Amino acid sequence: MNASQRPVAGHPNLKLGLHHVLPPYMLEHLAENGPQELREAALVDLGIDRQLRGARVAQPLARIGTAAEAADTTPNRTIFDAGNRRTLPGDEVLREGEAPVDDVAVTEAYDGLGATFRFWWEIFQRNSIDANGLPLDATVHYGRDYDNAFWNGEQMVFGDGDGTLFNRFTVAIDVIGHELAHGVIGAVRDLEYQDQAGALNESLADVFGSLVKQHAAEPQITAEEADWLIGAGLLASAVQGVALRSMKEPGTAYDDPNLGKDPQPASMADYQEMQEDNGGVHVNSGIPNRAFYLAAIGFGGYAWEKAGRVWFATLSSPELTTTATFTEFATISVARAEELFGVEGRDIVAGAWTEVGVELAVGEAAGETEEATTPQTGDLTEDQVIDVTGDKTVDVTGIEGETKAAQN
């Protein structure tokens, strides 16, 4: 978990923090309800994760980007093999440009890092995670049957999974994109990993992870064609589920006796106030996840071309605070959508947030405490509007039809 972060040497905008692929509640449920051997393994994995969180402040940065790397717009990847030990980074097995090796986890990690690099460069002209050519390192075969993967602020680390409930953690390219997106988020706007700001952090990582998968597909996938699942292929065949999360239908990704039921809400009506999981960062992220899905469907086409640009512009907005609420992020996103794509873009994004029950702020700054309760679009007359930017009005007439169409 990433309750606190520190800057990385040589990269003042990049923060060193720990983000795991599996939400803690999945392993905790397994430790309480799984078969004996899997309960014991889950307890070991939870212990490893706690040790990693406690040790993250002491981790040195293995390598940092150089001036030459900053000027180069090709990835600089190195893959290491931990040999089922828990020592990082392990033995180097593949460096950028070398011939492939006969190890599927190495190949998947290498390709996933490359796909993520290409996405950020081609879509946002961002040179690696820190925008300064940061080398992309990954370690595979970490631990023995380790059920997790993580980004620790300097590299990706992948377990092999237990083979019963979880497959190898390199199998899902969107998970790789998700974890590396945490590095981008930390560099651009270090959203506090707690409560709604933390849920936005997790949601943004899901957004960009999903976009990496859609962008890397051959042929590339449109918003309408995408499955909007996070971690499809990660769950083994014995699990009753399809993925870790569903952005299209939060709360439906899995329902399994060993792992529990997907707890994500799809709207603010089911928002969960909780102490665990840093205030529910992996749980309540389902709400902004669905808002992005609705916006992407509303825009149509490739999701990175419009919805993705709006979300990244929002993350990059100076007025977005590190403790942002859903309302703050939503309000800024509506303003960015209008700047980028005019009234139509504004209405699509406003409608997406309305559909998931997130209120839009009144006033010139999204950080103001006053909020407007956004009525359901069906309750509005033709001349009713909502002021979401402080100096502009949004005609929300017709949004209801658009959002219903987006769900079909």
Average pLDDT of the residues in 83-99: 96
The β-bridge partners of 261 are 255
- In terms of Cα–Cα distance, which of 88, 243, 122 is closest to 178? 243
- In terms of Cα–Cα distance, which of 231, 316, 244, 328 is closest to 286? 244
Is residue 89 reached through a cis peptide bond, with omega within 30 degrees of 0 on the bond before it? yes
Residues 6+ apart with CB under 8 A from 207: 181, 247, 289, 292, 308, 311
CA distance 166 to 400: 40
Q: What is the pLDDT of residue 366?
A: 38
Average pLDDT of the residues in 39-50: 76
> How confident is the prediction for the chain on average, in pLDDT?
84
pLDDT (tens digit per residue) in 134-179: 999 999 999 999 999 998 888 999 999 999 999 999 999 999 999 9
CB 110 within 8 A of CB 79: yes
Three state DSSP letters for the chain: CCCCCEEECCEEEEEECCEECCCHHHHHHHHHHCCHHHHHHHHHHHHHHHHHHHHHHHCCCCCCCCHHHHHCCCCCEEEEECCCCCCCCCEEEEECCCCCCCCHHHHHHHHHHHHHHHHHHHHHCCCCCCCCCCCEEEEECCCCCCCCEEECCCCEEECCCCCCCECCCCCCHHHHHHHHHHHHHHHHCCCCCCHHHHHHHHHHHHHHHHHHHHHHCCCCCCCCCCCCEECCCCECCCCCECCCEECCCCCCCEEECCCEECCCCCCHHHCCCCCHHHHHCCCCCHHHHHHHHHHHHHHCCCCCCCHHHHHHHHHCCCCCCCCCCHHHHHHHHHHHHHHHHHHHHHHHHHHHHHHCCCCEECCCCCCCCCEECCCCHHHCCCCCEEECCCCCEEECCCHHHHHHHHHC
CB 123 within 8 A of CB 116: no
Task: Please indicate whether residue 392 or residue 238 has the higher confidence score (pLDDT).
Answer: 238
Average pLDDT of the residues in 12-18: 53
Give the pLDDT band (50/70/90) at residue 408: very low
The β-bridge partners of 241 are 254
Q: Where are the domains of the chain?
A: 6-190, 229-407
Per-residue pLDDT for 202 more than 70?
Answer: yes
| 399's tokens | 């949004």
Give the pLDDT band (50/70/90) at residue 49: low
CA distance 86 to 170: 17
Q: What is the pLDDT of residue 40?
A: 81
Q: What is the pLDDT of residue 232?
A: 96
**Are domains 6-190 and 229-407 of this chain identical in fold?**
no
What's the CATH code, domain 6-190? 3.10.170.10
For residue 353, give the amino acid letter.
W
CA distance 245 to 275: 21
Per-residue pLDDT for 266 more than 50?
Answer: yes
Give catalytic residues, as residue numbers: 179, 282
| 373's tokens | 């309760």
- In terms of Cα–Cα distance, which of 259, 280, 278 is closest to 18? 278
Give the pLDDT band (50/70/90) at residue 350: very high
Average pLDDT of the residues in 47-58: 56
Task: Please indicate whether residue 392 or residue 153 has the higher confidence score (pLDDT).
Answer: 153
Average pLDDT of the residues in 263-271: 99
CATH code matching the domain that covers 229-407, chosen among 3.40.50.740, 1.10.390.10, 3.30.450.30, 3.40.50.10190: 1.10.390.10
Q: What is the pLDDT of residue 386?
A: 37
Report percent pLDDT > 70 for the chain. Answer: 79
